[in-house]
Structure 1
Amino acid sequence: MQDFKFYNPTRIEFGKGKEKNIGSYMSEFGAKRALVVYGSDRVKKSGLFEVAINSLKANGIEFTELGGVKSNPVLTKVREGVKIAKEFRADSVLAIGGGSVLDSCKAIAAGAVYDGDVWDFFVNKSADKALMIFDIITLAATGSEMNRGGVVTNEETKEKFGCDGVALYPKVSVINPELQATVSKEYLVYSASDIIAHSIEGYFTAKAHPELIRAYIEANIKTVMKTTEILLKEPENYEARGDFAWAATMALNGLTYVGISGYSYPNHMIEHAMSAVTDCPHGAGLSVVMPAWMKFYKERNSKAFERFAKEIFGLNSADDGINALKAWFEKIGTPTKLSQVGIDNSNLDEIINLANSYTNSWGGSEIYTKENLAKIFEMAK
């Protein structure tokens, strides 16, 4: 176990009907004026938006709204939100939706108390001040509900970067598994892929990795796999939905990286280039990248890959474990080939060049050369 510092101030309110109390939770922190952010009108059609704003009204919280946040959130929408938040003199933001909505809210919260351009927080500035952040999560995947980061794409430069800062931890996150029962089959399996990707980045790349954390990651992955298969057959299964939702949170709230060192996020770096160019769903891109990257990287940490094969699938070799993961992705219906996410010879060079340019900020330039990235993508065809 390496030396570490662990801090996570987010309060989780987990359970049925907790969204009805969001105004009360926000008022505990003194919220008076909130910008409510959501994606599509489904939030309104389902009645969830009305439940949330009624709770705000009951607790004397004024609000304005911003809709239209898309999957793979974009900088222009964040800038729109910053402008609204400043004009409204908001003291808080409330995200109602999945990780894309919450990531946008984090950037808006930072930009609303900053005189410069909000993109600064994605390239050279940590967010040490922000509006208060609250959320009602409707899709389990990113883990953004219990961490201090968020990802947005700059449409002009096609840079898909993350912001980070201690002020970006949500004050309170509401996780009601019932709200996630209507998630489509496609986004359920994309979410499973995303959670697994969060789990394996450190597992395979870290130079030092405690036994406890390895076992914890393996348990999380097996939980995701088991509950995904249940939910594909029984979308209303509350117990499975709850386990799946909490696994998503736990995969990226800091606990899977406690006491490890020398790790990186190559799968996310590569996928960010893919979705920046093609706008493919993040989890779908990851299920394409992961098996290919694993084949490329396995010799650099063969023991971890052999352990993964044994603990997750009961198999003996690294290759068997990789093939089993790819087969599982195919079984649940998430993509495993570039052609399935709109990538072919017409845009592949652009994606490779973009991924290579990301190494300037993500690191790994000595490993992820254009030549090696081309090898990874070749294995994903």
Structure 2
Amino acid sequence: MENFNFYSPTYFVFGKGRENEVGEWINRFGGLKVLLHYGGSSAVKTGLLDRVKASLKKNNIAFIELGGVKPNPRSGLVYEGIEICKREGIDFLLAVGGGSVIDSAKAIAAGALYDGDFRDFYCGKEVEKALPVGTILTLAAAGSEGSDSSVITLENGMLKRSAAGDALRPVFSILNPELTFTVSPYQTACGITDMMAHVMERYFTNTRGVEVTDRMCEGILKAIITEAPKVLAKPDDYDARANIMWAGTIAHNDICGVGREQDWATHKMEHELSGLYDVAHGAGLAVMFPAWMKYVMPHNVMRFAQFAVRVWGCEMDFQHPENTAKQGIERLEQFLVSIGMPIRFAQLGAKAEDIPTLVKNMQPGNQTVGSFVKLTEEDVRKIYELAV
């Protein structure tokens, strides 16, 4: 196991009706003037936004609204939010929505305290300070409610890029599983895929002696696999939604990634897909992760065999462990299909002839991507071709 520092300061406020406490939590962190950030009409239709505003008013918290966040959140709205924060003296960001809204709020929070262009943070500069961010989660998927990261689509070139820094971790996140009851089956499945990918990016590692986090990763994956069919069959199954919601949070707050080398090549490849085609992130990951697995599996057959046995219950073939490894990948693909996810380029509307553009936008050049296997530009191209 490698040396590590782990800092996770977020208060997780979990359970039914907890969104009604949001004003009290903002007061706890000294927020006086809030930018209330959200997406489309669902928060309005469900009455969630009215409940949030009522709590803010009850606690004498001033607020300015900024809605309109889209999936794969755009830089244009971030610039608008930063301008509002600086002009109006905003001292707290409240994100009401899923990962896209939270990521957009984080970008605004960082840009509001920065004299330069916020996109610097999405081109390699670490975020060292940001306005405090609180969240009310409405979609279990990205894990941004507990993570130190944010992903934004930079509209100049439509490049999807990430930023990171402990300053981006929310100070509190309100998690009420009931708020996810109205999420569509497709978006629910995309979220399930996203959280599984967050675990697998950490699970496939070259670091030895990480049995504790191996078992944590496997346990989270097994729980998701068990709960996913329940939540898709009965969207208002509170316990299933609760387990899925909490799985999404701990999949990406890095508790299962400490002390081990992590990969993240698949996420980078998918970002180019969703940047170019504006597809749901989880759907893109459903296509790219099995392709990546098939390509890198020979690097460590026994890790893939362990994944097959411990997560999917495959029987170990000690004479030919590669057969077990392949069976685990097949089981993953079968699961993804069973929850309604695509597993090939065409199902996304992606085109083989765009692969050179995807590779170019990813900009590997002479650099490599990932850690489990350090992928060259040619490797990346071949993985995209496997996804076709």
Provide TM-score, normalisation by structure 1. Answer: 0.96
The yes-or-no answer on 1:369 pairing with 2:376 is yes
268 and 358 in structure 1: CA distance in 2 versus 1, 3 angstrom threshold: farther
The yes-or-no answer on 1:334 pairing with 2:333 is no
Which 10-residue stretch deviates more, 97-106 or 201-210?
Answer: 201-210
Instruction: State the match for 1:300 in structure 2.
Output: 299
The secondary structure found in structure 2 opposite 1:299 is helix
Instruction: State the match for 1:120 in structure 2.
Output: 120
10 and 360 in structure 1: CA distance in 2 versus 1, 3 angstrom threshold: farther
CA shift for structure 1 position 370: 3.2
Give distance in 2, aligned partners of 1:275 and 1:360.
Answer: 22
The secondary structure found in structure 1 opposite 2:136 is strand
Instruction: State the match for 1:272 in structure 2.
Output: 271
Instruction: State the match for 2:204 in structure 1.
Output: 204
Give distance in 1, aligned partners of 2:76 and 2:5.
Answer: 35
The secondary structure found in structure 1 opposite 2:352 is coil
Amino acid at match of 2:351: D
Give distance in 2, aligned partners of 1:151 and 1:21.
Answer: 28
155 and 209 in structure 1: CA distance in 2 versus 1, 3 angstrom threshold: farther
The secondary structure found in structure 2 opposite 1:270 is helix
Confirm or deny: 8 A CA contact 1:359 1:368 kept in the other structure.
Answer: no
CA shift for structure 1 position 266: 0.9
CA shift for structure 1 position 42: 1.3
How many corresponding residue pairs? 380
Confirm or deny: 8 A CA contact 1:44 1:50 kept in the other structure.
Answer: yes
Unpaired stretches in structure 1, ≥5 consecutive residues:
none
Instruction: State the match for 1:355 in structure 2.
Output: 362
The secondary structure found in structure 1 opposite 2:145 is helix
Which 10-residue stretch deviates more, 11-20 or 196-205?
Answer: 196-205
Which residues in structure 2 correspond to 1:48-67 (within 5 Å)?
Answer: 48-67=48-67
What is the Cα-based RMSD across aligned positions, in Å? 1.7
CA shift for structure 1 position 363: 5.4
Give distance in 2, aligned partners of 1:314 and 1:100.
Answer: 34
Amino acid at match of 2:375: Y
The yes-or-no answer on 1:146 pairing with 2:153 is no
Give distance in 1, aligned partners of 2:195 and 2:235.
Answer: 18
What per-residue deviation string (whole Å, max 9, x for no partner) do you get for residues 176-232 of structure 1? Answer: 000011110001111111011100112113333501111110110111111110011
Unpaired stretches in structure 2, ≥5 consecutive residues:
317-323
Which 10-residue stretch deviates more, 338-347 or 249-258?
Answer: 338-347
What per-residue deviation string (whole Å, max 9, x for no partner) do you get for residues 309-361 of structure 1? Answer: 00112213100000110011111111101011111134222112223438859
Instruction: State the match for 1:250 in structure 2.
Output: 250
The yes-or-no answer on 1:91 pairing with 2:91 is yes
Give distance in 1, aligned partners of 2:309 and 2:351.
Answer: 34
Give distance in 2, aligned partners of 1:358 and 1:47.
Answer: 49
CA shift for structure 1 position 371: 2.3
The secondary structure found in structure 2 opposite 1:163 is strand
Give distance in 2, aligned partners of 1:140 and 1:68.
Answer: 19
271 and 25 in structure 1: CA distance in 2 versus 1, 3 angstrom threshold: same
Provide TM-score, normalisation by structure 2. Answer: 0.94
Give distance in 2, aligned partners of 1:358 and 1:220.
Answer: 35
Give distance in 2, aligned partners of 1:160 and 1:206.
Answer: 27
Instruction: Give identity over the alignment, percent.
Output: 39
Give distance in 2, aligned partners of 1:249 and 1:295.
Answer: 28
CA shift for structure 1 position 102: 0.2
The secondary structure found in structure 2 opposite 1:257 is coil
Which 10-residue stretch deviates more, 185-194 or 364-373?
Answer: 364-373
368 and 152 in structure 1: CA distance in 2 versus 1, 3 angstrom threshold: same
Give distance in 1, aligned partners of 2:294 and 2:118.
Answer: 38
Confirm or deny: 8 A CA contact 2:206 2:372 kept in the other structure.
Answer: no
Confirm or deny: 8 A CA contact 2:129 2:167 kept in the other structure.
Answer: yes
152 and 200 in structure 1: CA distance in 2 versus 1, 3 angstrom threshold: same
The secondary structure found in structure 2 opposite 1:335 is coil
Give distance in 2, aligned partners of 1:57 and 1:309.
Answer: 52
Confirm or deny: 8 A CA contact 1:203 1:209 kept in the other structure.
Answer: no
CA shift for structure 1 position 365: 12
Confirm or deny: 8 A CA contact 2:368 2:374 kept in the other structure.
Answer: no
The secondary structure found in structure 2 opposite 1:7 is coil
Which 10-residue stretch deviates more, 12-21 or 204-213?
Answer: 204-213
Which residues in structure 2 correspond to 1:230-249 (within 5 Å)?
Answer: 230-249=230-249
Give distance in 1, aligned partners of 2:352 and 2:301.
Answer: 32
What per-residue deviation string (whole Å, max 9, x for no partner) do you get for residues 234-254 of structure 1? Answer: 111101110000000000111
54 and 362 in structure 1: CA distance in 2 versus 1, 3 angstrom threshold: farther
Give distance in 1, aligned partners of 2:168 and 2:360.
Answer: 31
CA shift for structure 1 position 366: 8.4
Give distance in 1, aligned partners of 2:304 and 2:167.
Answer: 36
Give distance in 2, aligned partners of 1:281 and 1:258.
Answer: 28
Amino acid at match of 2:337: E
Instruction: State the match for 2:325 in structure 1.
Output: 318
Instruction: State the match for 2:320 in structure 1.
Output: none
What per-residue deviation string (whole Å, max 9, x for no partner) do you get for residues 117-169 of structure 1? Answer: 11111123222221110010000111111111100011213321111122111
Confirm or deny: 8 A CA contact 2:133 2:170 kept in the other structure.
Answer: yes
Give distance in 1, aligned partners of 2:207 and 2:3.
Answer: 14
